[in-house]
Structures are given as structure tokens and as C-alpha cells.
Amino acid sequence: MKIGVLTGGGDAPGLNPAIRAVVRRAISYGYQVIGIRRGWAGLLELDTIPLDRNAVSGILPKGGTMLGTSRTNPFVKEEDQKKLTENIKKLGLDAIVAIGGDDTQSVANRLSKLGYNVIGIPKTIDNDLWGTDRTFGFDTAVSIATEAIDRIHTTAESHQRTIVVEVMGRHAGWIALYSGIAGGADVILLPEEPFDLNEVCSMVKKRYDEGRNFAVVVVAEGAVPKGIEDFFTRNSQKDAFGHERLGGIGEWLEKEIEERTGVETRSVVLGHVQRGGSPTAYDRILATRFGIAAVDLIKQGNFGKMVSLQGEKIVPLPLEEAVKANRVVPEDMRWLAKVFSP
């Protein structure tokens, strides 16, 4: 059995533990593993490396991915699709493990529908993959964002300022919600519900009127104000999966809040800091469990699945289920964002 493993999409802490687990489990069954570099791009360009026990030694605590990643979509051009399937044959791959978010899993699903043996492993700091209670990377991102919010608190309080912290989260506000609660933010804004700018300003004002002379606002990059209801984007460019580069809502809020309330306001974008560095113990364990489960599915010949966390259990889910929607913060959890608002 020869397995190819790749990591696609934005990186997330936990990718290396997942690769390591795939390799170690596969070796224990006597399988051979090759690493495909830079996601689907590596399969188009036959850019691979053999992965044995030595190759994955020492990668467990490291952030990023030893294989590199890209947002390459091999189904955009017809010639790429042809090359992709030809190269799977050329490499003699019996199975592919695709570690990635919704875009990577959508390619995995298409390949599986074409008859190839594919297993998906979910990752993304955004925690927005359907059918799994958690993706690895999320726990680390929330810890980093929470620490940042703690630091923002002390400087905001010292200067009697309002500080807006923009965190990642395109369609789903999981990072904003969790880090906002853990960091004790006064206002938490999610992409799931357009927010009322007047309401945000009154909350900030109320804090100052009550003598708490500073405020911290946490906003997801995909949050939108009522009346505008369109993402704030950095530019008009889109990636190969049609996603725009988001950003700017924090800066916009900074100006609006200062102008409307008269309170000195600043904003900070946490950006890729949230994706970098060593994974937490939780993410290392989840990624390891996913990696083991993926190889076990290969052993059983149970292909076309994405491993998922359901409660405490790792459960195989049909890939087509996993890609059907984004897992946003459900309505019955959104109230948590407002519970401690002024």
C-alpha cells in the first residue's frame, strides 16, 4: 500500500502532528508514505518526498506544515484535472490523505467521486468545517487571540481608550466568540449576524458613562454592519477557490466609534499571528487522533470519508457531507456574545 499525504489551504497549528501520525500509523501497518508538497500543486508538479520515521521525527511541536501548502485548485483548468489523475497513476498511489479545510475537502470529494481512494482530515483555525465538532488549529488560535486580548486590556485601560481587535473568521465567528469570552471583551461581533453600529457605539459609551473608562471590541474579519452587509476586503483579488482577501472591518470600526462617541479609539489586526507557532496540547492530540483514524480507514478500505470529531469520538463522515456547508456559530449560541455587553 502506497499512501500520498498532502496539506492544503491556510496552514493551521496541528498539521505536523497530523502528518506524523499518518506516517507512524502507516509504517506500523507496513505501508509506504510519500509527502506531496504544497497541497494539490505538488501533485500537479510531481513534487514529493518520501516520508519515513526519520522524516517526521521532531515535527510534533512545530507550527506550520513540513510539506508546505497552497490554495491550488486542480479542478479549475481541464488540463490540470488530467495531469492530476495521470500523476496519481505515475506515483502509484493507492490512497491519498488530504489534510485541509473546506476547499481541500471539496477537491478530495471530487477526486473520490472520480473513483480515487481518498480520506480527508479536517483542519482550520476557523473551526468552520461541517460535520466535525472541532478542527485542529482552532484551540491554538483561540489561545493566541485570548492572550492578545489580555494584553490589549492593560494598554486600553492605561490610556482610557477603546481598542478594536480584528480576528480571523470569514463566515464563522468561532474565534471571535471564544477569544472574546475568554478575554472578557465588552463587545463581540460575529459574521453570522450583521451588527448595528449605533448599538456598538452606545455600548462603548455606556462603559465610559459607568466609569469603566476603556472598552475592548472583538470583531471577526467577516462581520458586517447592518446597511452595508458586504465583506470588508483588502483588494478585489480572489484565490483559486473564489475567496476574497478579507480585512478592514477593525479599522472602519475604529474611525466610526471615535467619530460617533468622541472616545479615543485604536484598532489592531491579529492576522496570521493566530495561525503561527506551536500547537496546543489539545490540537496535537486531536490532529494525532485524526491521523491515526485516517490510516485505519485506509486499512479497512473505507474510502471517500473525512474523519471527524463527534463528542469525544472520532467518526468517519462521507466527504460529500463534510463539504455541503460551513459550520457557523449556531443561533442558540450567538447570545453568548452579548451576555456581558454593557
From the list 126, 128, 139, 186, the catalytic residue is 126
Q: Is 268 in the site for ligand F6P (CB under 6 A)?
A: no
Which residue is closest to ligand F6P by CB?
10
Task: Please tell me the distance from the alpha carbon of residue 305 to that of residue 258, in angstroms, as a whole number.
Answer: 50
Can you tell me which of 104, 112, 117, 124 binds ligand F6P, judged by CB under 6 A? 124
Q: Using the rule CB under 6 A, give the single segment among 32-40, 148-156, 162-170, 279-287 that binds ligand F6P.
A: 162-170
Q: Using the rule CB under 6 A, give the single segment among 92-100, 121-129, 181-189, 317-325 that binds ligand F6P.
A: 121-129
Closest C-alpha among 16, 15, 200 to residue 123: 15
Q: Is 168 in the site for ligand F6P (CB under 6 A)?
A: yes
Q: Is 8 in the site for ligand F6P (CB under 6 A)?
A: no
Reduced to 3 states, what is the DSSP secondary structure of residue 146?
Answer: helix
For ligand F6P, the closer of residues 20 and 275 by Cβ is 275
Residue ranges in 169-188 that form contacts with ligand F6P under rule CB under 6 A: 169-170
Report yes or no: 285 and 293 within 8 Å, Cβ to Cβ.
Answer: no
Q: Where are the alpha helices (DSSP H) in the chain?
A: 15-28, 40-44, 78-91, 102-113, 138-159, 174-182, 197-209, 249-261, 281-300, 319-322, 331-334
Q: Is 273 in the site for ligand F6P (CB under 6 A)?
A: no
Q: Using the rule CB under 6 A, give the single segment among 31-39, 104-112, 120-128, 194-202 that binds ligand F6P.
A: 120-128
Can you tell me which of 34, 88, 105, 126 binds ligand F6P, judged by CB under 6 A? 126
Task: Please tell me the distance from the alpha carbon of residue 164 to that of residue 187, in angstroms, as a whole number.
Answer: 9
Q: Is 241 in the site for ligand F6P (CB under 6 A)?
A: no
Q: Is 248 in the site for ligand F6P (CB under 6 A)?
A: no
| Residue 260, Cβ density class (10 Å: 0-12 exposed, 13-18 middle, ≥19 buried) | middle
Report yes or no: 137 and 274 within 8 Å, Cβ to Cβ.
Answer: no
Residue pointed to by grid coordinates 452587509? 229
Q: Is 165 in the site for ligand F6P (CB under 6 A)?
A: no
In the DSSP assignment, the letter for residue 172 is -
For ligand F6P (CB under 6 A), the number of binding residues is 9
Helical (H) or strand (E) element with 317: strand 313-318
Reduced to 3 states, what is the DSSP secondary structure of residue 140?
Answer: helix
Q: Is 126 one of the annotated active-site residues of the chain? A: yes
The set of catalytic residues is 126
Binding-site ranges for ligand F6P (CB under 6 A): 10, 124-126, 168-170, 221, 246
